[in-house]
A and B are shown apart, each in its own frame.
Chain A
């Protein structure tokens, strides 16, 4: 039960929220028009996932099966509300960028999913690791999809990153092609599905190649 390597391998690759579990697709389509938006949404969700997993794991012995879902929903919704208020009050610059996305975390079924399938059965530390791993896996997926859509759609990468991360991260902002006319489809929801489809196919293909070579186990630890 303390297989942290396994937990992180699951969260980032084997059981990735987006690429394997196919959860969180609604906020995914909505926010991944740029890599920066994906990163912001991913980090905010990671925070809530971590907190929700810790709270639910520490209360798990009191929560009985029959009423677990309303209890989880209550706890998750209140954590999101707390995050929303705290960021609005004390990290207002960040709130102006992320404000739109924070309430969306409530409807992100991966938070409830992790509470149900992991935190309600596991000790606090393992649940915290799971929340972090799943959140980082989601962030990775959001940034990848956002990056692809942004590059294809508007030929920039991490545009406005300094608004989210502070001026020291302005170097991330790159413009690949000046005066790019824009590829509209990629910025609209269908582009999100297209990119997701190609990335999923790519992941499956990679896994098949890995399996053939018999290096699946080694691959796990090489995932960033």
Chain B
């Protein structure tokens, strides 16, 4: 109590004890505020992220493919050294399409994160980029808000175009590159192809058919 009163006078504030108490007090104050703010916003943020996920999944899997709660029907697949969470779109209980995240190496050591939707036959329903750090004005044409380029994957599969033509035009493939940016589309094309190969490897499991036999 004596110390506290001492600190209230300006000359009492030049002590080590006051400095420590000030720093500690401010740290306590801000961490309390942030905890309260986190508690207030946590549910809302989780809800927003779920809505974002839903909105993205709906872009790569058209609504006519499912009548289930897409976001909650998941299966986790071990593929080499990574695990992939796959969202399954079912209609009347049968899996009609699946969607999952794929990543591609991006600018610097960053990653581009995408979701792809694939139907039962292994045909691409859609590809969307969720996050990336590509150069604005160049590599960011992979976003649907900037250009239609990524829609060019719709309807493609591992046999259309043939495997050796799964590349950008500069490499003898069928997909456009961007003026001034070849590396970004090249990386995306490669990752999408990888995504389709993942589907081919785990088809039975993804379509939930392993126990029911072939259709």
Q: Is the CB of B135 within 8 A of A74?
A: no
Proximity bits, A65-100, B CB within 8 Å = 1, else 0? 011001100110110011001101110100110000
Q: Point out the residues of chain A lying under 8 angstroms from B19, CB to CB.
A: 64, 66-67
Q: Which of B34, B135, B179 contacts A81, CB < 8 Å? A: B34
A120 close to chain B: CB less than 8 A: no
Q: Point out the residues of chain A lying under 8 angstroms from B45, CB to CB.
A: 85, 88-89
A16 close to chain B: CB less than 8 A: no
A62 close to chain B: CB less than 8 A: yes
Proximity bits, B145-172, A CB within 8 Å = 1, else 0? 1000000000000000000000000000
Q: Point out the residues of chain B lying under 8 angstroms from A33, CB to CB.
A: 136-137
Distance between Cα atoms of A127 and B213 in the complex (Å)? 73
Q: Point out the residues of chain A lying under 8 angstroms from B137, CB to CB.
A: 33, 153-154, 182, 184, 187
Minimal beta-carbon separation of B196 from chain A (angstroms): 28
Most buried by B among A70, A77, A160: A70
Distance between Cα atoms of A67 and B51 in the complex (Å)? 44
Distance between Cα atoms of A63 and B44 in the complex (Å)? 35
Of B20-28, B73-81, B116-124, B204-212, the one with at least 4 CB within 8 A of chain A: B20-28
Closest to B13 in A: A64
Q: Point out the residues of chain B lying under 8 angstroms from A67, CB to CB.
A: 19, 22-23
Closest to A188 in B: B135
Q: Point out the residues of chain A lying under 8 angstroms from B27, CB to CB.
A: 74
| Total CB contacts across the A-B interface at under 8 A | 73
Distance between Cα atoms of A66 and B18 in the complex (Å)? 11
Q: Point out the residues of chain B lying under 8 angstroms from A92, CB to CB.
A: 48, 51-52
Q: Which of A34, A66, A75 contacts B26, CB < 8 Å? A: A75
A213 close to chain B: CB less than 8 A: no
Q: How many residues of B contact A (CB 8 A)?
A: 28
Known: A33-B137, A92-B48. A62 touches B22 (CB 8 A): yes
Q: Point out the residues of chain B lying under 8 angstroms from A63, CB to CB.
A: 22
Q: Point out the residues of chain B lying under 8 angstroms from A34, CB to CB.
A: 136
B14 close to chain A: CB less than 8 A: yes
Minimal beta-carbon separation of B208 from chain A (angstroms): 33
Q: Is the CB of B30 within 8 A of A78?
A: yes
- Tell me the chain B residues, 31-72 only, with Cβ under 8 Å from chain A: 31, 33-34, 37-38, 40-41, 44-45, 48, 51-52
Q: Is the CB of A182 within 8 A of B41?
A: no
B108 close to chain A: CB less than 8 A: no
Q: Point out the residues of chain A lying under 8 angstroms from B138, CB to CB.
A: 184, 187
Q: Is the CB of B41 within 8 A of A89?
A: yes
- Tell me the chain A residues, 156-201 only, with Cβ under 8 Å from chain B: 160, 163, 181-182, 184, 187-188
Q: Is the CB of A71 within 8 A of B48?
A: no
B180 close to chain A: CB less than 8 A: yes
Q: Is the CB of B145 within 8 A of A163?
A: yes
Distance between Cα atoms of A75 and B135 in the complex (Å)? 33
Q: Is the CB of B48 within 8 A of A88?
A: yes
Q: Point out the residues of chain A lying under 8 angstroms from B41, CB to CB.
A: 85-86, 88-90
Q: Which of A64, A95, A154, A160 contacts B18, CB < 8 Å? A: A64
Known: A63-B22, A78-B34. A182 touches B44 (CB 8 A): no
Q: Is the CB of A89 within 8 A of B48?
A: yes
Proximity bits, A18-37, B CB within 8 Å = 1, else 0? 00000000000000011001
Top 9 closest A-B pairs, CB basis? A187-B137, A89-B44, A89-B41, A78-B30, A33-B136, A92-B48, A85-B41, A67-B19, A89-B45
Given contacts A82-B34, A88-B45, 19 further A-B pairs with CB under 8 A are A33-B136, A62-B22, A64-B19, A67-B19, A70-B23, A74-B23, A75-B26, A78-B30, A81-B37, A85-B37, A85-B41, A85-B45, A86-B41, A88-B48, A89-B41, A89-B45, A90-B44, A92-B51, A187-B137
A-B contact pairs, 23 of them (CB 8 A): A62-B22, A63-B22, A64-B14, A64-B22, A66-B19, A67-B22, A71-B23, A74-B27, A75-B26, A82-B33, A82-B34, A82-B37, A85-B37, A86-B41, A88-B41, A88-B45, A88-B48, A89-B48, A153-B137, A182-B137, A182-B179, A184-B138, A187-B138
